[in-house]
A and B are shown apart, each in its own frame.
Chain A
Amino acid sequence: MEYEIKPQEKISLGLKELWQYRELFFFFTWRDIKVKYKQTVFGFAWAVFQPLLMMAIFTVFFGGSSQEGLPYEVFSLSGLILWNVFSTGLSNAGNSMVTNANIIKKIYFPRLIIPISAVLVSLFDFVMAFIIFIPFLIYYHIHVSLLFPVMLIVGLLITAVSTFGVGSLLAALNIKYRDFRYVIPFMVQAMLFLTPVIKTPPDRWKYILAVNPMYSAIELFRSGFNDKPLEYNLLAISITSAILFFVIGLYYFRRTESYFADLA
């Protein structure tokens, strides 16, 4: 095994190295999940309570009418559980380099593992919340299409890819410019209103709003159990934008990661 340490010249994905360190993905994810619910009485149930409580609040203030052919409870909960993957994944990934600074400064491992693990943690929460979502579908007699599993997986994929893309971009920026510590929560909050979680945004803005990958991710997810036809051109915009964020985030992260230890 021979290798050379020298100033960074070209950027590679470093997939081989990521594979060598594959166990660390598990450990970082496991650590974050474990720590998140340690010393809590309800444990993992918190992953479920949060979207349920939000749904209850939204229903009180915005509920009453059905949205996109769904009872408001189902509409908002379905939006929330997927949105939470993005919002918690994004804030955790975005802050991950700063919160793990002590490790970054002392040990080498592919830095990408940290933001990826942050996204994996939020996917775990989704699984927990999704288990609670199923009884809602049954209770409200929602007709679920056969394509639902496909819609779910593709929707999650768009979510994960864009969360990771934006998250790793923010992580790399955050370690250099701590301004992003304040940008992230604001950004997440603002985006909630631009995504069809609480309400479907007005139709005339949809082509711009679809640039937000979560727009179509949620619409796609819902199309598995509502009768609103899926707009493929919007989906195309969202997927393109998700991939673009992914590439930009990954590129910027890889380009700057060697100096993280000096900046952290």
Chain B
Amino acid sequence: MGYIILEELKAILPIWHNMKPILEIKNIRKKFDIVHNRQPYLSLRDSMAALFKQSGSTAEEFYALDDISFNVNEGESIGIIGKNGAGKSTLLKILSKITPPTSGSIISRGRVASLLEVGTGFHPELTGRENIFLNGSILGMKQKEVKSKFDEIVDFSGTEKFLDTPLKHFSSGMQLRLAFSVAAFLEPEILVIDEVLAVGDAEFQKKCLGKMEEVGKSGKTVLFVSHNMGAVLRLCSRAVLINEGKIVADSDVQNVISQYYTLNESVMDQVLLSERKDRKGNGKCKFQKVWFTNKEGKVVNGFQSGDYVEINALVKAEDPNFERDLYVSVSFCNALNERMFSLGSGLLNKKVHINGLTEVKWIIDKLQLAPGEYMGDLFLFETIGGYDMYDMMEQVFRFVVDEGDFHHSGQLQSKGRDMFFVEFDVTSRQIPLNK
């Protein structure tokens, strides 16, 4: 009995397993001087001129990372997420010793291999075989290691036919596959990966993801930076959300991802719908803004397949005395602007009462869209006494759907070729054979 409690405690407290975390990141800050209106690199003349000038006139300090602290335990897979320019890549660069922090320190208790870009050090003039050895060596593998894994690497990349052809004659897809394959067979204690999955065809991406999952399960510590929430969800158990150089959230991956969505500014902040000119309608009422909220009522800009979704729109009547019931509709289109579905109030035999400022809310209990990027159009109209368009605008919002556990089966539904997910069941029964 006591033993079972101990085992449970071990599972709850990772510290029990391993007293010291494999990575201790303490108060890391990284400062860059932004130089305005000058060449990206220094010239000697500028430096000499600066000797005679009071400095600081054109430079501005910028903290790419501002007091970042967290620990990583052995065997953990951590996703690092955040918007573009949040400081994720800078953090990875510091972790992999490419650039030093301005202050703070990191204690590392294992060999770090970083994959900030696949194919670093590949040379177009060298053959595939030669590049495997060169790249392996640059990534920190011993020649012996590369030799022993050579066949596996080639096999995984599927480029065996071209091994003795200069890399410049490879297609870019093949170069990529070869590059990922070399990196996939690295065996560090800590693997740092940045967005390598953003490339390659769907099939190879899947293969890469599978390989990385395998790496994570083999007990290696993985730090993974990506904008692909599905990949993060699949690979990581914990996530750290960075915004403007600071840690905003650090907890289990599902939790952090929903916070990530709330972090993104939704379209309404960028474009004031009331100001848009590309609209049709009689102008008596106008959509002012549109936004999405999640189950907790928080404003978000992305969902996972299967999520509860609320679409909100603000309608303003130009004339304060205006009062009328109108049909309202929102349509969803995919990235190719193909109509997915519409939520017209007429379908439910409903109208909304518009008077002064009105908030309209659509509720989707379970989002059936497959992962991807979607846009939407808004309509406000009347059909009594002839069709009368009050206000209509195309592409009023844009949002992402990431992979989610639509069927509550414990696995994420990836895009594949499907556009929608539908709830269903499968049954079977045995039919007795006729004698």
Contacts and interface: CB of A to CB of B under 8 A. Distances in A.
A14 B273 CA distance: 60
Interface string A216-260: 000000000000000000000000000000000000000000110
Interface string A83-123: 00000000000000000001111111100000000000000
Interface stretch (A68-76, A140-148, A172-180): A172-180
Contacts of A6: 100-101, 104-106
A8 B100 contact: yes
B42 interface: yes
Nearest to A103: B121
A47 to B, nearest CB: 17
A27 B108 contact: no
Interface string A1-33: 111111110000000000001011001000100
Interface string B110-147: 11001011001101011000100110011110110000
Interface string A26-49: 010001001100110000000000
A203 interface: no
A4 B97 CA distance: 10
B43 interface: yes
B58 interface: no
A261 interface: yes
B137 A177 contact: no
A17 to B, nearest CB: 10
B113 to A, nearest CB: 9
B102 interface: yes
Nearest to A6: B105
Most buried by A among B41, B107, B111, B139: B41
B49 interface: no
Contact of B126 (A2, A21, A34, A106): A34
The binding surface of chain A is classed by DSSP as mixed
A211 to B, nearest CB: 23
Contacts of A106: 98, 114, 116-117, 120
Interface residues of A, number: 35
A181 B432 CA distance: 86
B159 interface: no
A5 B100 contact: yes
A38 B124 CA distance: 11
A263 interface: yes
B99 A261 contact: yes
Interface residues of B, number: 44
A38 B142 CA distance: 25
B139 A1 contact: no
Given A27-B134, A38-B125, A7 B100 contact: yes
Given A7-B101, A106-B120, A177 B125 contact: no
Contact of B108 (A3, A177, A180, A262): A3
Contact of A4 (B42, B96, B106, B126): B106
Contacts of A262: 32, 99
Given A1-B110, A6-B106, A179-B44, A23 B100 contact: no
A5 B134 contact: no
B411 to A, nearest CB: 34
Nearest to A102: B120
A262 B117 CA distance: 16
A5 B41 contact: no
Most buried by A among B99, B116, B123, B130: B99
Most buried by B among A3, A5, A7: A5
B100 A179 contact: no
Interface in B337-379: none
Most buried by B among A1, A2, A31: A31
Most buried by A among B42, B101, B138: B138
Contacts of A5: 94-95, 97, 100-101, 105-106, 108
Interface string B40-68: 01111101000000000000000000000
Contacts of B17: none
A5 to B, nearest CB: 4
21 contacts: A1-B111, A2-B107, A3-B108, A5-B95, A5-B97, A7-B101, A7-B102, A24-B138, A38-B166, A39-B125, A102-B120, A103-B121, A107-B114, A107-B116, A109-B140, A177-B47, A178-B42, A179-B44, A258-B100, A262-B99, A263-B42
Interface of B: 32, 41-45, 47, 93-111, 114, 116-117, 120-121, 123, 125-126, 130, 133-134, 137-140, 142-143, 166
* Across the A-B interface, the 8 shortest Cβ-Cβ residue pairs: A6-B105, A108-B97, A5-B106, A177-B44, A106-B120, A27-B137, A179-B44, A38-B125
Given A107-B121, A108-B114, A262-B99, 14 more contacts: A1-B109, A2-B108, A3-B108, A4-B108, A5-B101, A5-B105, A6-B100, A38-B166, A103-B120, A105-B98, A106-B116, A106-B117, A178-B42, A263-B41
